[in-house]
Amino acid sequence: MRTAAGIPPESASLKARPKRSIPGLTLSNSSSKFPARPFQYTHASAQSDEQLVCGPHSLLALASQYGTPLYIYSADQILERLALFQQALLARRHLVCYAVKANSSLAILKLLAAHGAGFDIVSGGELQRVLAAAPEAANRVVFSGVGKTAEEIDLALDANILAFNVESEAELTLLAARAAKRKRKARFALRVNPDVFAETHPYISTGLREHKFGIDIRQARRIYREAAGNRWLAAHGVSVHIGSQIRSAEPFGAAMLRVAALVRQLQRDGIPIQTVDAGGGLGIDYHLGVDNNSSFHPKAKVEEYAAAIELALKGLDVQLLLEPGRFLVAQAGVLLARVLTVKRNGKKTFVVTDAAMNDLIRPALYQAFHEIVPVVPRPGRAAAVDIVGPVCETGDFFARDRKMKPIEPGDLLAILDAGAYGMAQSSNYNTRPRPAEVLLHGDQAALIRRRETIADLLATEL
Ligand code: PLP
């Protein structure tokens, strides 16, 4: 069902639409209880083409209603992922502190807070987001980050957050000074650098001694002992974060073994460590194929990860904090982009979309792979194309030499697994307003951020 220009017809609002209600459409069978992605194709029928949907929600209709580029997230999947962590850790006191940096939309923070999550923040801005979304969750916040300012520390002390993950001796000195000034005891964990190699992209590997992150684990005992003499500091935990998009449980277990040894030593020293923070970093599979129920089993992944950590902590009476970001939100999100034009230069075909690197920078920044699928597939033979945005940079691409079925101007493409580090890393480069965001929850679809306007962009300039 397409207009002459190839643009799918407008559909009515999907607000409060009952489940499975797209007329004439039946959903493909989802074989897994925890599908890797909440987006799947319907079967074509007499009334309608095959199309990509999220439960009862038509992505075509959402794009028509809210425009493109558009981020769409499944709240149901985000909560399902949170529950996987919470269930895998039932045998131990624990708190899942969602890494706000992955996707800091207020509605997502509110959703997670309401289901028991805490938060890992890395700036005063992120703290203000948590306080705006869920002030009652302030005492479930840990504050990481390699360079905290005095103002940020003051804000966090006043909010009475759970703990500061301290990344240097200088930061601990600053924390003690700010705490003394405000007459508030600061709970802290040293973020130790365990010197563990985690196989991932070099820009997101953080656990080696040569990285800027954390404190050399060999120095940690001395620093804890010195801090014990300061009445404004309370040693609360030990924390670690070895990197992001780590697919194997092994490096997490290796890092935890080193942390556990340190905790035992500190407890023998009489330093009452109460928490171990294992950081975030559990990776997802970005190469699933359109059949999203294939080889990636989120539940098994989380269980394997939790087991590796638990094995290392065996016998230690501590609360476990985790800081997952990507694993909770990445696969719950898509970025919808409309095809503006299809052009040929020499031997190459370029599909130019209305989304660009400013909306989703991961391919340009990390050479990250995102699967891209048409919302309504066209029949025909697949051919290699580059899928690019309109920004004036050769690095403005989403896919290169990607085999795609025929694509025409006006078609809608879904860039999959875009829920983490997508909108959160977006910018206004080329004076492009940032996309709108929609959160789907059951049969409800809510606009959680309106599209920026040029007036928004100009408002701060004098
Ligand atoms: N915690 C800290 C300290 C981080 O720097 C990050 C991101 O790299 C995370 C948690 C979240 O990582 P991920 O989104 O890979 O789970």
CATH at 177: 3.20.20.10
Tokens 């130019």, located at residue: 352
Domain-located, residue 148: yes
Phi, psi of 70, rounded to the nearest 5 degrees: -145, 130
* pLDDT of 382 higher than 60: yes
Q: What is the C-alpha separation between 417 and 330, in angstroms, rounded? A: 5
144 ligand 1 Cβ < 6 A = yes
Do you find a cis peptide bond into 69, omega within 30 degrees of 0?
yes
User: Does 120 sit in the ligand 1 pocket, CB within 6 Å?
Assistant: yes
- Residue from 95, 104, 120, 242 to probe ligand 1 pocket by mutation (most atoms less than 8 Å from CB): 120
Torsion, CA 452, CA 17, CA 25, CA 411, rounded to 10: -10
Question: Is residue 242 within 8 Å of residue 280, measured between CB atoms?
Answer: no
Where is pLDDT greater, at 394 or 220?
A: 220
The helix/strand count (H/E) of the chain reads as 12, 22
* 322 and 347 in a common domain: no
Q: 3-class DSSP state for residue 261? A: helix
Which of 42-56, 172-186, 296-310 has the weakest average pLDDT? 42-56
**Hey, what are 74's tokens?**
């499944």
Tell me whether residue 406 is in a domain: yes
Q: Which domain holds residue 414?
A: 26-74+331-458
- Of the residues 303, 328, 353, the one at which a domain ends: 328
pLDDT for residue 208 is more than 70? no
Residue 77: per-residue pLDDT: 97
Residue 297 has pLDDT above 50, yes or no: yes
346 shares its domain with 425: yes
pTM score = 0.91
Nearest to 127 by CA among 95, 160, 166: 160
Tell me the CA–centroid distance for residue 419 and ligand 1, in Å.
Answer: 14
Residue 9, domain member (yes or no): no
pLDDT given for residue 209 in this prediction: 64
Stated as kind and residue range, the H or E segment containing 267 is helix 250-268
Tokens of 124: 């005063």
Instruction: Determine if ligand 1 sits within 6 Å of the CB of residue 326.
Output: yes
Residues contacting residue 228 through CB under 8 Å, at least 6 positions apart = 235, 270, 271
Do 105 and 31 lie in one domain? The reply is no
Average pLDDT of 199-215? Answer: 65
Give the CATH number for residue 339.
2.40.37.10
Helix axes 150-159, 124-133, angle to 10 degrees: 30
Q: What is the mean pLDDT of residues 55-64?
A: 97
Residues 403 and 264 in one domain: no
Atom of ligand 1 nearest to the CA of 102: 14
Kindly state whether residue 32 falls inside one of the protein's structural domains: yes
Q: Do both 235 and 297 map to the same domain?
A: yes
pLDDT of residue 213: 72
Long-range contacts of 43-49 (CB under 8 A, 24+ apart): 47/23, 48/1, 48/22, 48/23, 48/24, 49/1, 49/2, 49/376, 49/377
Asked whether residue 17 is assigned to any structural domain, the reply reads: no
Specify whether 316 is located in the same domain as 358. Answer: no
Query: Do residues 163 and 210 make contact, with C-beta atoms less than 8 angstroms apart?
Result: no
Query: What average pLDDT does this structure show over 43-63?
Result: 91
Tally of structural domains, the chain? 2
Q: How far is the CA of 286 from the centre of ligand 1 (A)?
A: 17
Share of the chain above pLDDT 70, in %: 89
Model pLDDT, residue 32? 55
Both 343 and 322 in a single domain? no
Judged on CB neighbours under 10 Å (0-12, 13-18, 19+), 105 is buried
Residue 21 within any structural domain of the chain = no
Q: Could you tell me if residue 393 is inside a domain?
A: yes
Q: Given this model, what pLDDT does residue 284 score?
A: 96
Query: Distance between CA 137 and CA 119 in Å, rounded?
Result: 8
Q: How far is CA 78 from CA 209, 329, 348, in A?
A: 33, 6, 38
In contact, 335 and 355? CB cutoff 8 Å: yes
Cβ burial, residue 166 (10 Å; 0-12/13-18/19+): buried
Cα separation, 441 vs 445, in Å, equals: 6
**Quick one: 262 and 342 in the same domain?**
no
User: What pLDDT shows up at residue 33?
Assistant: 72
Q: Would you place residue 46 in the very low, low, confident or very high pLDDT band (cuts 50, 70, 90)?
A: confident
Last residue of a domain, one of 296, 328, 360: 328
Q: Which residue has the higher pLDDT, 347 or 206?
A: 347
Same domain for 285 and 177 = yes
- Is residue 339 pLDDT above 80, yes or no? yes
What are the start-end ranges of the E strands in 174-291? 186-193, 215-216, 233-239, 275-277
* Residue-averaged pLDDT of the chain: 90
Task: Please say which residue of 328, 357, 385 terminates a domain.
Answer: 328
Indicate whether 374 pLDDT > 80.
yes
The per-residue pLDDT for range 394-432, each reduced to its tens digit, is 899 999 999 999 999 999 999 999 999 999 999 999 999
Cα 173 off chain centre by: 32
Taking residues 43-48, what's their average pLDDT? 79
298 token code pair: 């989120």
Determine contact, residues 425/335, Cβ cutoff 8 Å. Answer: no
pLDDT bracket for residue 28 (50, 70, 90): very low
- Ligand 1 mean position to 11 CA, how many Å? 39
Structure tokens at 236: 């609360």
- Does the pLDDT value for residue 25 go beyond 80? no
Instruction: Tell me, yes or no, whether 196 and 339 share the same domain.
Output: no
Give tens-digit pLDDT for 156-171: 999 999 999 999 999 9
Q: Are 201 and 213 in a shared domain? A: yes
- Residue 300 included in any domain: yes
Q: Count how many residues are written for the chain.
A: 462
- How confident is the model over 64-109, as pLDDT tens digits? 999 999 999 999 999 999 999 999 999 999 999 999 999 999 999 9
Residue 320: which of 79, 112, 91, 82 has the closest Cα?
91
Mean pLDDT of 328-344: 98
Which numbered atom of ligand 1 lies nearest the CA of 421? 14
Is residue 323 lining ligand 1, measured as CB closer than 6 Å?
yes
What is the band of 333 on the pLDDT scale with cuts at 50, 70, 90? very high
Q: What is the pLDDT of residues 114-135, one digit of tens each?
A: 999 999 999 999 999 999 999 9
**pLDDT at residue number 107:** 98
3-state secondary structure of 243: strand
Can you tell me the distance from the alpha carbon of 449 to that of 105, in angstroms, rounded to the nearest whole number? Answer: 8
Domain co-membership, 294 together with 347: no
E-assigned strand segments in 324-382? 333-345, 348-353, 372-374
Question: What DSSP letter does each residue of 192-220 carry, written as one string?
Answer: EE------S-GGGB--STTSSSSEEHHHH
Give the HSE-up count for residue 298: Cα atoms under 13 Å, Cβ half-sphere.
29
Residue 439 CB partners (closer than 8 Å, separation 6+) = 72, 73, 75, 105, 107, 108, 111, 445, 446, 448
Q: Cite the active site residues.
A: 392
Rg (CA), the chain: 23
